[in-house]
Amino acid sequence: MTAAPPTIAMQTMQRAQRARRAVTARIVVPLIVIALFIVGAVIVPILYGYDPLRTDVILRLKPPGRRCPTARSPCSAPTRSARTSSLR
């Protein structure tokens, strides 16, 4: 016995089902990506604990190379290595 060839109605129905699956995938994948960004935006500040709005203006105006009190050492002049002292 041979199977009857698919009719035009069956082919149309199969195309419609494939189209629905494609539309679902086109909707679900971006929603998953957006959800990951939202979850990351909520969880990262909790784990990291850095407040970008808290700034010490006095330390911000100091020249580069100085160590801050927040780095567990006093603000002092940077130490010179043998390489930089020989360049002078």
Q: Which domain holds residue 31?
A: 1-51
Instruction: Give residue 85's pLDDT.
Output: 47
Instruction: Give residue 38's pLDDT.
Output: 96
Asked whether residue 51 carries a pLDDT value surpassing 90, the answer given is: no
The distance from CA 80 to its chain's CA centroid, rounded to whole angstroms, is 37
Which tops the pLDDT comparison, 19 or 67? Answer: 19
Task: Kindly report the average pLDDT of the chain as a whole number.
Answer: 75
Instruction: Give residue 45's pLDDT.
Output: 82
Query: Structure pTM?
Result: 0.43
Instruction: Give residue 66's pLDDT.
Output: 66
pLDDT digits (tens, 9 = 90+) for 20-38: 777 787 888 899 999 999 9
Total domains present in the chain: 1
